[in-house]
Amino acid sequence: MWSNIKKVSFPREHGSWGFLLEPLTLSLLVASSPNGLLLALATFVIFLNHQPVRILLNENDSKKIKSSAIVFFLIYFLVIGILLISITRETTLELLIPFSISIVIMFGYLVLEIKNYGRNLFAEFIAPVAIIFVALNIVLLDGWEFEKIFAFGIVLLSRTIPTLLYVRTKVKIIKGQNSESLWLRVTELFFLILITILALIKLIPILSIFAVLLLISRSIVGLQPKNKMEKIKKLGMKEFGFGILFVVINAVGYLFNL
């Protein structure tokens, strides 16, 4: 029974949890507000609701599973509605534009997933970017200026995009498939330069540079010949740890202006 409930109520992609929780957690740490917290909770429930929606749209799942999916879909939908109504009572709809963009992006990802394009490189970028828009909305609700919101988005992307490329490269190597790291290195260098510039003009903390350097270091070490054949589960656990470090380093930088 528990296995069926878990199948219906929780997304099965473990890596997606990090891409959800890291931006939301960092944004709440550096720009906490009641509406920001409600928006993060609403996004989390939307993330959970993705699983029953996917089951309902999948023709191969049994009627019993679909019946359970309907129940969880309605529960999640009710919770989302309550949270969003609570937010709109305290703020204007204009301040929720990034969140609205996020919903559109999430819907696009769902369409691609239904059409079996979920593992396409472009599709894999879509869902994390949608969550980043929510994180930007959270800092917007806290009254941040546009320049700092934009720079904060770059900080979040400096974790998301290189990490997706690194994990994709590493998984291919583990599976014995052809893979090369050129685009990973180009992307890492691009974000290192961009983050350094933003830090020097004081739109983001200096510690954000060290967070990017940490990620670059782990990808260099991780792609060394002696480390290329580690288990995918171990890779996921390591990435979860690096995600926590990335959040902590940036949060300390923002909170203490370091």
Give the tens place of pLDDT for each residue, 116-148: 766 677 778 888 999 999 999 999 999 999 999
The one-letter amino acid at 138: I
Helix (H) or strand (E) holding 136: helix 121-141
Kindly indicate the confidence band of residue 50, based on its pLDDT and cuts at 50, 70 and 90. confident
Q: Which residues contact 89 (CB under 8 A, 6 or more apart)?
A: none
The one-letter amino acid at 189: L
Distance, in Å, from the CA atom of 149 to the CA atom of 203, rounded to the nearest integer, reads 9
Given this model, what pLDDT does residue 251 score? Answer: 98
Distance, in Å, from the CA atom of 23 to the CA atom of 155, rounded to the nearest integer, reads 10
Given this model, what pLDDT does residue 4 score? Answer: 64
Helix (H) or strand (E) holding 234: helix 232-256
Whether the per-residue pLDDT at 2 is higher than 60: the answer is no
Instruction: For residue range 156-172, list pLDDT tens digits in order.
Output: 999 999 999 999 999 88
Q: How many CA atoms lie within 13 A of 22 on its CB side?
A: 29
Instruction: For residue range 233-245, list pLDDT tens digits in order.
Output: 888 889 999 999 9
Whether the per-residue pLDDT at 252 is higher than 90: the answer is yes
pTM of the shown model:
0.93
Kindly indicate the confidence band of residue 13, based on its pLDDT and cuts at 50, 70 and 90. low
* Two structure tokens written together for 146: 């546009």
* Two structure tokens written together for 183: 């685009």
């890779």: which residue's tokens? 235
Given this model, what pLDDT does residue 60 score? Answer: 67
Average pLDDT, the chain: 89
